[in-house]
Structure 1
């Protein structure tokens, strides 16, 4: 019997021997990951449908409007929020799941929303922070005073203090540096707290928010202390609250951002989520949550840029063949795919660790934000290059994705400062 026939007789018909001669795996919506549970799949399908049918088309509409038009009563933005509320995806409903389920489902939802529109995904996430932090900091009674359907915001950066507002522990300060005078201060007076000052134009949802999670310096009698601040839930219909005009900016134009002003705004102490003694812990907590969410959102945006480029490479012809046949195009698409897979894997791993750990790792959350926003920007840039002249026109969405991703590398802590602080957190003082 010839050798080839003998080998063929001995080979089984399962395992690799059942594969096609040239294996070609068609991956699903979120790449090479184990099969989702029934609950996870339901949330992904719900979030993806909303991203496809609502976030993406409305995001493109809003991108071409002025900031004033975006927040106007007849704006498509409010249609988006109404349809989002119908989904009932909020901290209250998600709190009914187990911590393990939340750790799996949150990044799935945020990735799908980011695939639809990164700026609107940030708006939706910021809007839920008052409810999320009320639950996280043990003040659930505050949820009886406002609806989870109200628009929330998180105000921490100030005109003179950007990313350094996320560093009350002073881990990244130059030895000769100083924080300077705070722009916003909460003064504790007996059974009330009085707020004065300003938050910067980068407050996401600031021009439209109804309730604010305010992070600011505290004054308990010895003057303002940025290292001993306060976290306060502030209804924005109170006397003394003012709002600036919506910011006109490069990217994420569907995300309303603007200043908040506080002029002797008084609140009872039961609106204080966290006092001065635990302020640094509260910054660590919200920073960890925000950077993980940003990682998932911008993973979705990186995927969106890849999807558009992948589709285009199959349909666009140059040199008599679809451009996917050109080696440089296949090479570029592979690296775009690789970035998405790496970003997603990092976010899922870190979110599960930080959600289930007694003490979350902020440096790992920072790694998510930096890695995934960079991946979104790089993929958007590559998508523009692959589409050529079409990539820079407004007919195709990749130029918008490029602008949105560029802004993401600054918001929630600019990537350079996050890397410095993250590296400092990793330091082991005992080995120095």
Structure 2
């Protein structure tokens, strides 16, 4: 029998320093003791019940505030140090529950995008408030991520946007609707809104603005009932002549494209981290089950095909983690992040997470299909990752467009 080597939580990563170990231990404990049981319970509620006033969701979000994962505090750290802490924390939270990990993450998006825009007043305004990010629309999904129209067919039009903002004097006036896929819409107090701009009667990309969701003219639709990531509340936002002070503006038509680029370059790897956590959870469940479940008179891990399957699950988890962290570290140390790297991190992590979750469920056999075991939920959550934050097909096209060197054409 080979000698067993027990790997740490972060797998084949270099040793963690004292601060990193503390963050990992704190977030892992929170994920195991709070997020996992809450995630199971919330997943079985209706969409309306999950966001009701008596839902455990509110307590989870409140407890998450005590983790100390403030982006403004982390901004004072060296870039690589900050990235390592964020990657460690995000993976652990999503290992506990990807939907709740995503809900905690999206609460910070208004602060994150205000920081990217250099609007310190909005950073301070959004700090400590529950947030959401609104970009897709009923008639426009992943194409909203293509602010420079790099993927648009020649002589074609995307069609009329569903949400438009215009600048009038010292105000931004917003009208229209954002789709039911606004993450955090049901619990948020502030929204990082990305939409088209109206300039001289015509629409164009775009405007990014922080919108307090208690303003007159703002309303919310029903919470979205969906297959996976059910613990990440999502829903529609409506804007009827909503007036926001110009000081809330993150980007206008002249600089929207650049902020949209940096926004996606930042968001994609964070979503990738969520699904590294999903993949790891699925692998760990399968590994434990393989030692417990007996077939043919022995634990199934004694069968060669099971070991073969587990090995490929292990390498996929390590591959996803390595790429996501490598991309985040690279982007944190360069003047302009590589969006093709960010897209690769998200696409790779979500695809591998789905493969790992599917293989893990297969290893559980019929038990994997039941709600008594965690696998059917993990598979549903993993499937959502192929669409969340830009469907993988569009992100691949977007990333591929960034590999074109015009000087060689």
What is the CA distance between 1:175 and its match in structure 2? 2.1
* SS of equivalent residue, structure 2 residue 35: helix
Partners of 2:98 and 2:381 within 8 A in 1: yes
Deviates more, 1:309-318 or 1:36-45: 36-45
What SS class does the counterpart of residue 181 from structure 2 fall into?
A: coil
Question: Who is 2:363 aligned against?
Answer: 386
User: SS state of the match for residue 255, structure 2?
Assistant: helix
- Determine if the alignment matches structure 1 residue 219 to structure 2 residue 198: yes
Could you tell me which residue of structure 1 aligns to residue 88 of structure 2?
Answer: 108
Q: Write out the 4+ residue segments of structure 1 that deviate beyond 4 Å after TM superposition.
A: none
| 1:412-431 pair list within 5 angstroms | 412-431=389-408
The superposition leaves residues 164-183 of structure 1 with CA deviations (integer Å, 9 ceiling, x where unpaired) of: 00001111122243111111
CA shift for structure 1 position 375? 1.2
Task: Please report the TM-score for the alignment, with normalisation by the length of structure 2.
Answer: 0.98
The correspondence for 1:294, drawn from 264, 271, 279, is 271
- Identify which of 54, 67, 70 aligns with 1:87: 67
Instruction: After superposing the two structures, state which structure 1 stretch, 112-121 or 215-224, moved more.
Output: 215-224
Q: Does 1:308 align with 2:285?
A: yes
Residue by residue over 1:388-416, the C-alpha shift from the partner in whole angstroms, topping out at 9 and shown as x without a partner, is 01000000011001001111110100001
List aligned pairs for 1:341-420, cutoff 5 A: 341-420=318-397
Given the alignment, which residue of 249, 264, 284 partners 2:226? 249
Residue in structure 2 matched with residue 8 of structure 1 by the alignment: none
Residue 202 of structure 2: SS of its match in structure 1?
coil
> In the aligned structure 2, how far is the partner of 1:143 from the partner of 1:369?
26
The aligned counterpart of 2:101 is 121
d(CA) in 1 for partners of 2:156 and 2:225? 32
Residue by residue over 1:203-222, the C-alpha shift from the partner in whole angstroms, topping out at 9 and shown as x without a partner, is: 00112211000001112324
Q: 1:61 aligns with which of 26, 30, 41?
A: 41
Assess if the C-alpha contact under 8 Å between 1:94 and 1:102 holds in 2. Answer: yes
Aligned-residue Cα RMSD (Å) equals 1.2
Report the CA distance shift for 1:103/1:144 in structure 2 as closer, same or farther (over 3 A).
Answer: closer
More displaced 10-residue stretch of structure 1: 151-160 or 102-111: 102-111
Give the Cα–Cα distance (whole angstroms) in 2 for the partners of residues 136 and 41 of structure 1. Answer: 28
Structure 1 residues 6-21: aligned runs within 5 Å: none
Q: How does 1:111-190 map to 2 (within 5 A)?
A: 111-146=91-126, 148-190=127-169
Q: How many angstroms apart in 2 are the aligned matches of 1:358 and 1:145?
A: 26
In 2: Cα distance, 1:111 partner to 1:415 partner:
20
CA distance in 2, matches of 1:88, 1:161: 36
CA distance in structure 1 between the partners assigned to 2:54 and 2:138 by the alignment: 31
Distance change >3 Å, CA 79–CA 131, structure 1 → 2: same
Supply the distance in 2 between the matched residues of 1:295 and 1:218 (Cα, whole angstroms).
Answer: 30
Deviation (angstroms), 1:34: 1.1
Task: State the alpha-carbon separation in 2 of the partners of residues 75 and 158 from structure 1.
Answer: 28
**Alpha-carbon distance, 1:118 to partner:** 0.9
CA distance in 1, matches of 2:273, 2:174: 34
- The residue number in structure 2 matching 1:199 is 178
- Please name the residue that 2:28 is paired with: 48
In 1: Cα distance, 2:284 partner to 2:398 partner:
33
Partner of 1:271: 248
Counterpart position of 1:12: none
The 2-side partners of 1:326 and 1:385 are apart by 15
Structure 2 CA distance for aligned equivalents of residues 177 and 310 of structure 1: 51
Tell me if structure 1 keeps the 8 A contact 2:116–2:259.
Answer: no
User: TM-score w.r.t. structure 1 length?
Assistant: 0.93
The answer to whether the Cα contact below 8 Å between 2:116 and 2:263 also exists between their aligned partners in 1 is no
Q: 1:87 offset after TM fit, Å?
A: 1.2
Cα offsets for 1:301-337 (capped at 9, x unmatched): 1000000000000010000000000011000000000
CA drift at 1:190: 1.5
- Say how many residue pairs are matched: 409
Cα drift, residue 22 of structure 1: 4.6
